[in-house]
Structure 1
Amino acid sequence: MRTWKASTAAAPWNGLEALPVLIGEIGGTGFGTTLLQALAPALPAASWSLYRVGASVAPALLASASHGVPDCTRQCWHAYLSGPYERDSSLRGQGGSTDAGSQLLHHARADDMPAEHQRLVYEPHGMAERLSIVEWGRQGDELLALNLYRHTHQPRLSDRHIRSFETLAPALLALARKHAALAAPRPAPAGDEVLAQRLLARAPGLTERELAVCLRLLRGMTHDGVAADLDLRPPTVKTYRNRAFQRLGIHFRNELFALVAADAGADTY
């Protein structure tokens, strides 16, 4: 596994002529496969994904597609949420900057991943390598990742392939982010009543206060914000949170997001 800083000073990419076609597909249903077709002269990738994860946000698959193979990207995402997500540090690198807006590049092979990640995500879907560009969000607690996946039927990524990705990665991330913003609207996030039902289905013993704290955490509120909203002291909020998390069998806020997302059976809650 390798991690390095994204650069805007790389050499010209030999597939740059495909960019106008890709730009023309932004927001449309053909963007995902067009992206992979545009990249084909420069590097082998049969699937890609754009997702946002982090301690303070709900995990969300924003865009994805496959080309030349059955599209398994959503199955991969749900498999990722089922376990590997909670323990995945593969995109965080070693000592790289997590300042807002900073970008890192990653290259990993399937056998670089923990056994669970390989077993649930890579092996069942024939994925062998991943190239990623990651951009850090506010306070370094969330990241936006664009990932390209080489499948087992494709040639291994060479240094030339990786250099090609390095050159275009920042532009690809910008295009994919714009596409996700313009694409057809996704279902609105579930309201408090639906989220409360999901949490109570998991832990019927949740008290009214414990449930109220969890719902506000799911809205992205800080502990101080929850305390002000419920007219409680911050230490009391943390006590309710800890009790609720114990009943739910979780330890961290990102697990709470993953819990309701998995129960929804959708890409976002």
Structure 2
Amino acid sequence: MTDLSAPHVQTALTGLIDAIGREDFAARALAALNETVRAASWSVYRLHPQDMPPELHLSASRGVEDATQDCFRAYRDAGLYRQDRSFARLRPGGPPSDPQVLRMHGDEAPSPAHRELIYRRHRVVERLSVASVEPDGSLLAINLYHHEHQGRFTPAEQDMLVALAPLVRSSVQRHLALERRACALAPAADPRQRLLQACAALTPRELDVCERLLRGWSHDGIAADLGLTLSTVKTYRARAFERLGLHFRSELFARFGHAPH
């Protein structure tokens, strides 16, 4: 039975709680978790029902090159999430659930592309996830990764994460709630900043296009201003809208066309 009163566990929990609300939460929380469960990297993302693209909330690495955002871009942009059955026990759109710990070796990834683009390319061996369906129907996945130099997670590490899962999820949820609140109270952040807060993976050109759309520019005007072809502007718009889960310009204005309040 896992002893949550052990000194190293208490150190981990103290570090995790202390990281909540800090700008460097991802790095601090990963360092704290390493007191109990060794992980060279982690990511927190959200899967939505109805085939909406997943959303990356935060990620960090420790002792290895940080490729977490590259991995997430491959997961989203290559459509790997559409074939991902590793969270099948917790279906997005289902009823809210308690956190569950799920384990997946790289060789068990749902598709050859998933194995190659994420696990083999970046020398990731295994994933332990604290996953739960949230009240809005989305699936929150808190993922810890072992890399080649670490081998597989030990049974003791998995048992520890099972014991810590409710506290880990609560800490992440609390941090994300504070981020949303801070964003809502922020004085008139510019549209570009709000776009980045919603999706950190947007490229500079995608931001350029969306920012000008929010100013009321036409596609032709944007193309002329940025020195791009009309088709290229439309491609950037389509990519940005897919990342943001949007379909129409009206949705862009509804979410980002005014100061948050």
TM-score (norm: length of structure 2): 0.65
- Which amino acid in 2 is paired with 1:145? A
74-83 vs 17-26, which deviates more? 17-26
Partner of 2:3: 12
Superimposed CA distance per residue, residues 81-124 of structure 1 (whole angstroms, 9 cap, x where no aligned partner): 12212221211238999422443220010000121101111112
- Which amino acid in 2 is paired with 1:60? E
Select 1:90's aligned residue among 78, 86, 90. Answer: 86
Superimposed CA distance per residue, residues 215-255 of structure 1 (whole angstroms, 9 cap, x where no aligned partner): 29968xxxxxxxxxxxxxxxxxxxxxxxxxxxxxxxxxxxx
CA contact (8 A) 1:44 1:155 kept: no
Provide the alpha-carbon RMSD of the alignment: 3.5
Superimposed CA distance per residue, residues 4-63 of structure 1 (whole angstroms, 9 cap, x where no aligned partner): xxxxxx743341333223222212233222222222232220111111111245521111
CA distance, structure 2, for counterparts of residue 154 and residue 119 of structure 1: 19
3-state SS of 2:149 partner: coil
Q: 1:200 to 1:102 in 2, by over 3 A?
A: farther
Select 1:79's aligned residue among 65, 74, 79. Answer: 74
- Which amino acid in 1 is paired with 2:194? P
Q: Would you say 1:27 and 2:25 are equivalent positions? A: no
Q: 1:23 to 1:65 in 2, by over 3 A?
A: same
Q: 1:80 to 1:218 in 2, by over 3 A?
A: farther
CA contact (8 A) 1:51 1:144 kept: yes
Partner of 2:153: 157
CA distance, structure 1, for counterparts of residue 251 and residue 115 of structure 2: 29
Partner of 2:112: 115
CA contact (8 A) 1:96 1:104 kept: no
Structure with the larger RCO, 1 or 2 (CA within 8 Å, 6+ apart): 1
CA distance, structure 2, for counterparts of residue 200 and residue 36 of structure 1: 38
Superimposed CA distance per residue, residues 172-230 of structure 1 (whole angstroms, 9 cap, x where no aligned partner): 11111222333475623568946x9699825x9xxxxxxxx9429968xxxxxxxxxxx
- Which amino acid in 2 is paired with 1:135? S
Gaps of 5+ in 2: 184-192, 199-209, 220-230, 238-245, 253-261
CA contact (8 A) 1:128 1:152 kept: yes
Gaps of 5+ in 1: 1-9, 205-212, 220-269
109-118 vs 82-91, which deviates more? 82-91
Partner of 1:201: 234
CA contact (8 A) 2:15 2:29 kept: no
Partner of 2:44: 50
